[in-house]
Homo-oligomer: A and B are copies of this chain.
């Protein structure tokens, strides 16, 4: 009976190797991460999905604060005149903007954009707030949502409205701004690796792929299980590109009036998509313990037997007291088998089975979601054992993802090799630096330049596309 239910249940997810994209959509919906809404391209993030985002936020926010950043809140609306001030920026974002044209029953004299990003409003305020070198640096961040009128959308990966954080900083010198840009990129790298268990390639974007208005854009690029790239974070150095039109000037120590040097950096709910497509499997989601809203689920076995439910509650209490996010699944309308599958699908890192025989032996049976390894754990000192096991799951998820990334990255020396490599992985290739070659690669192979790694040790001397002399090492991949 439980067996039958189990079978039926697993069949609900489209197999990954049959249709990766449909598998993704199945996971997102069936795990109750989000739902579609009647609002074009906008999603409702459900409690389980939002719980993941909250944990990501906590981890990132702590890192931002530890590196001297403070949170603020800026208006969601941006007058059109502000958006127009920086030419490249408006060119990049204007086509995607949603405009407020009526308010309080009247037509507005100036259209207001719902922020697609907040450089222009931060710049306006920074121009007001920065007077002297003593006021610098200003290192602010905000958690909010932004809106971009995307033509086609996919849950978490590309939605019209999405939740994100955007850091905006101004500095007295170009060196400080560059240092900030790279420091925050590295915060993102470390966060992806240690919290999301996702290895990333850090590097600089090409001119073609950089942010509208930036002098230099850096990114961290993850690899999904279909070999495609997903950019999980970006960090931009604007130099004085914005501070000049916005007149962000300060009186320096030497008495001269100077333009501030600016950066911005962001990550978003896209990262939830990256987690799904990096770690998931046939049975569904696999959550790294550090961002799992439920780290441990306790499933009572023969729950009707005396003492079982009480023992589950007691064990849960002990784990909770040790800071472990735990839940007891005491639903009496489902079989234990159904529950196993349900929580496996939802990616809970560790399941504890607690039955009369376990209790007699003063133990529980622990089952890892990542490896399905099953082992008894003594009740004595259980919280410590669980902590260790969760750390082990976290480490293991990262290592498997790292091995996958390494196995699916290879050098490509010409277009034939590049075509083969980007069909399910990243290519590391030499590039001459010409936009024409990037365009050709995009057009012929559907792949884009991802970023230039900081380690520029050559892997050849000829451009992968045109064959001319090349001295830039670039990652190419198809991308989300």
Q: Contact size class for A?
A: 35 or more
Answer whether residue A376 sits at the interface, using C-beta atoms and an 8 A cutoff.
Answer: no
Q: Are B95 and A70 in contact (CB under 8 A)?
A: no
Q: Which of A95, A98, A333 has most B Cβ within 10 Å?
A: A98
Interface residue stretch chosen among A74-82, A254-262, A432-440: A74-82
Expressed in whole angstroms, the minimum distance between the Cβ of A156 and any Cβ of chain B is 12
- Complexed CA–CA distance, A431 and B103 (Å): 38
Expressed in whole angstroms, the minimum distance between the Cβ of A341 and any Cβ of chain B is 18
Known contacts A104-B95, A121-B37: does B72 contact A47 (CB below 8 Å)? Answer: yes
- Complexed CA–CA distance, A147 and B147 (Å): 15
- Complexed CA–CA distance, A73 and B275 (Å): 19
Q: Are A50 and B38 in contact (CB under 8 A)?
A: no
CB closest chain-B residue, reference A70: B47
Answer whether residue A412 sits at the interface, using C-beta atoms and an 8 A cutoff.
Answer: no
- Complexed CA–CA distance, A111 and B98 (Å): 11
Answer whether residue A43 sits at the interface, using C-beta atoms and an 8 A cutoff.
Answer: yes
Q: Are A74 and B147 in contact (CB under 8 A)?
A: no
Q: Which of A51, A72, A129 has most B Cβ within 10 Å?
A: A72
Bits for A117-158, please: 1 = Cβ < 8 Å to B, else 0: 000010011001100001000001000110101010000000
Known contacts A44-B125, A76-B145, A99-B100: does B38 contact A82 (CB below 8 Å)? Answer: yes
Q: Are B50 and A70 in contact (CB under 8 A)?
A: yes
Q: Are A37 and B104 in contact (CB under 8 A)?
A: no
Copies in the complex: 2
- Complexed CA–CA distance, A432 and B75 (Å): 44
- Complexed CA–CA distance, A292 and B168 (Å): 24
CB closest chain-B residue, reference A98: B103
Q: Are B101 and A38 in contact (CB under 8 A)?
A: no
- The residue that A75 contacts in the complex, of B37, B46, B144, with Cβ under 8 A, is B37
CB closest chain-B residue, reference A42: B75
Known contacts A99-B102, A114-B114, A124-B38: does B70 contact A51 (CB below 8 Å)? Answer: yes
Known contacts A99-B102, A99-B103, A145-B144: does B37 contact A125 (CB below 8 Å)? Answer: yes
Answer whether residue A105 sits at the interface, using C-beta atoms and an 8 A cutoff.
Answer: yes
Bits for A266-278, please: 1 = Cβ < 8 Å to B, else 0: 0000000000000
Complex interface residues of chain A between 79 and 94 (CB less than 8 A to chain B): 79, 82
Q: Are B149 and A39 in contact (CB under 8 A)?
A: no
Answer whether residue A303 sits at the interface, using C-beta atoms and an 8 A cutoff.
Answer: no
Q: Are A73 and B98 in contact (CB under 8 A)?
A: no
- Complexed CA–CA distance, A112 and B39 (Å): 9
By a CB distance below 8 angstroms, the chain B residues around A35 are 125, 128-129
Answer whether residue A353 sits at the interface, using C-beta atoms and an 8 A cutoff.
Answer: no
CB closest chain-B residue, reference A151: B104
By a CB distance below 8 angstroms, the chain B residues around A51 are 70-71
Known contacts A35-B129, A114-B114: does B104 contact A161 (CB below 8 Å)? Answer: no
Answer whether residue A163 sits at the interface, using C-beta atoms and an 8 A cutoff.
Answer: yes
By a CB distance below 8 angstroms, the chain B residues around A42 are 75-77
By a CB distance below 8 angstroms, the chain B residues around A46 are 72
- Complexed CA–CA distance, A47 and B111 (Å): 28
Answer whether residue A97 sits at the interface, using C-beta atoms and an 8 A cutoff.
Answer: yes
CB closest chain-B residue, reference A163: B73
- Complexed CA–CA distance, A39 and B44 (Å): 28
Q: Which of A46, A102, A103, A147 has most B Cβ within 10 Å?
A: A103
Q: Are B333 and A134 in contact (CB under 8 A)?
A: yes
Bits for A26-57, please: 1 = Cβ < 8 Å to B, else 0: 00000000010111101111110011011000
Expressed in whole angstroms, the minimum distance between the Cβ of A64 and any Cβ of chain B is 12
Q: Are A76 and B37 in contact (CB under 8 A)?
A: no
Q: Mind listing 26 A-B residue pairs with CB under 8 Å?
A: A35-B129, A37-B74, A37-B75, A37-B121, A37-B125, A38-B82, A39-B121, A40-B103, A42-B75, A44-B74, A44-B75, A47-B140, A53-B73, A73-B145, A76-B147, A77-B161, A95-B105, A98-B102, A98-B103, A99-B101, A99-B102, A100-B100, A101-B102, A103-B149, A104-B151, A134-B333
* Known contacts A43-B75, A101-B102; 4 further A-B pairs (Cβ under 8 A): A44-B72, A47-B71, A50-B72, A76-B145
Q: Which 9 A-B pairs have the closest CB atoms?
A: A104-B149, A42-B75, A47-B70, A45-B73, A99-B102, A98-B103, A39-B75, A103-B149, A101-B101
